[in-house]
Chains A and B, each alone.
Chain A
Amino acid sequence: MAAIIARGLTHGYGEGPVLRALDLEVAAGEVLFLMGPSGCGKTTLLTLIGALRSVQQGELTVLGHALHGVDDAARVASRRRTGFVFQHHNLHRSLTALQNVMVGLEARGQSRLPQAEAMCRAALASVGLAGFEARRQDKLSGGQRQRVAIARALVGGPQLLLADEPTGALDSTTGREVMAAMRSLARAQGTTLVIVTHDPRLHEAGDRVIAMEDGQIRSMRKEFAL
């Protein structure tokens, strides 16, 4: 079953389209890397899949829900089914690590569950941050912050995780650790991963790598075949 189906997806910001009639299908549970030069449309594609922007032209179905021709409420609902990891962790500076993860659970509408706090603690433990619950971001290293962001994105078991340069601000060792943590958690939960990255060393963690150019898919390859 496909987690993402895009047909003729076209999107622009006033000066010609950034995405040009793009077709894409991502299987459920697949780990997909998107790569390409700056301005090729990969981030735009990510924001459309993540329901952060309205679809201008074409059809897009994510996790069985159409995102073309829908209102804001439908897009908010779609975002609740999706986890996000950003290049910069985007943690709330006033919140502890545990509270930041709780925000993720609240966004997903699961924070009223009796086991909510236990789920958040478990999410932190799964990225190796047991014992760091009460720390704010200024008491965490760059890698630890990104791990908290991964725990926040994956708590509550989203079916789709979108990541934009999740290791871009980290050194290569920490980047590999973060990627491994993200992948193993996604695998454990059966989550589909779409990751934008410039770092080819990380591609070994994926099932498929798509190279984009001028708003279209230039090539597609199975990473294990490389």
Chain B
Amino acid sequence: MIRWLIGAISLCAVTSSALAAEPLTISIGYLGQAGIKATLSLVELPSENDGIAGARLAIEDNNTTGRFLKQQFRLEEVRVKDGDDVAGAVRDLAGRSTFIIADLPPDALLQAADAVRDRGGILFNVGAADDRLREADCRANVIHIAPTRSMLADALAQYLVWKQWKRWLLVVGSHDDDRLEADAYRRAAARFGAKIVQERVFEDTGGARRTDSGVTLIQRQIPVFTQQAPAYDVMIAADESEVFASYLPYRTWDPRPVAGSAGLVPTSWHAAQDQWGAVQIQNRFNKLNSRRMTARDMQAWLATRMIGEAASRTNSGDGNAILTFLKSPDFSIAGFKGQRLTIRDWNLQLRQPILLVDGRMVISVSPQEGFLHQVSELDTLGIDRPESKCRLQ
């Protein structure tokens, strides 16, 4: 009771001081990479504004709320090319914005985090799924909005185990990221009682993703590649590099479903998600950007909304005040996923349900019923506190 009274008094203070104060401007930087990652499917080719479009919507949402609290939010976009000086770019951006939404590969993200650490810059990772960024390479000034590979793999594994599809044929691409994804699936299989009956590697021999007579060739290659497999229930593809996974469905030697990088895919968001009030954000996004909302858009929306939410709760644009609030047990954010999203205090990863989608529909949402946890069922996804190697500094 006393706690709530104190809360009430401070809330009262927030509203009254906010009404009296001059408008507060909060600048948010968006640091992304130039260029677009190629995909096998033409319809999945990301837009040039993939990610930042979500941040732009959240800026509008924050400003609607900000009108009542005299807070204004601004977004500044910076793109870096391969080989550019990331540290220099982020230092320059941090001169204007304490909060930086980063859509960068893991090494660039670490460089950026370390470059702005002394000046109090806070990064929101919306692009990199690498577990190491939340483990051995974790940083006290990086909040991770993007789910990790292990969270995604666990989400899929829970569903497959619930479905009793426990015998997996794992097909792995030949790039480093593909191997990391495969690691996550191996770990998930061991955790949830699935069995990888065999592993195969799909070598990337180069070549164009788009050719005029591609289908004919693929239709001959894939059955051959997948034949003579031991008995399995589902084929799991680990192909972050977009080399082969989307070629697998309907072409496997045995009639089996495909999951992972193609088929049934675990993701933080999808344009087909319509539960828990999600139609509202899908509509708002569509109206603003004239296209559908992707996982990266949602991750950037969440990052920007988290800054807005913390600013409205603390009535402050100060980096320390906002970071302290985001790390505190009082913080939670609504993300159209049916429950509050909170932050794991041991590695600053956002807890979140994971959608399992087939490209057109949301098939299921993990964690699945029955996967229990003593703290939060969301912690059945990914590396949990007792296993964590992260020591935040």
| A, B in one complex | no
